[in-house]
Amino acid sequence: MGGMAAASAIHLIRRGISANKLDDAVFLFRQMVRMRPQPSVVQFTKLLSIIAKMKQYRVALNLFEEMCQSNAPLNEYTLTIVINCYCLLNRVDFGFAILGSFFKRGIKPNVTT
């Protein structure tokens, strides 16, 4: 997918995804992962945040795995969302593992983390 598809995906994120449209959010996310060049870390994180706010924590974590496998960009906000999802699923141990990955990736946690 080219620049036009990336612009379309970004437009959909900016316009907003309804809280009851999980399938649309997942579809858009998977399109973004395949785009070349990929959208920015901000766009990925925004969509991951929307899915987490739908309380679809497992879905958000699965999509995070897809992001990692496709070398999509990550930042401290992305990883904070992932840590929160693990904590809300009572998997604090995995949350701490993600915190460790912050340091391995050279990302400094922020106050929210």
* pLDDT exceeds 90 at position 104: no
pLDDT tens-digit series, residues 26-56: 888 888 888 888 888 998 999 999 899 999 9
89: in domain = yes
Q: How many domains does the chain have?
A: 1
What 3-state DSSP class applies to 59?
A: helix
* Domain containing residue 54: CATH number: 1.25.40
7: in domain = yes
21: in domain = yes
96: in domain = yes
Residue 73 in tokens: 């960009």
111: in domain = no
42: in domain = yes
* pLDDT exceeds 50 at position 14: yes
59: in domain = yes
Residue with tokens 């070349």: 36
Residue 69 · residue 38 · CB < 8 Å: no
- The pLDDT value recorded for residue 1 is 44
Range of the domain at 82: 3-104
Which residues lie closer than 8 Å to 11 by C-beta, 6 or more apart?
A: none
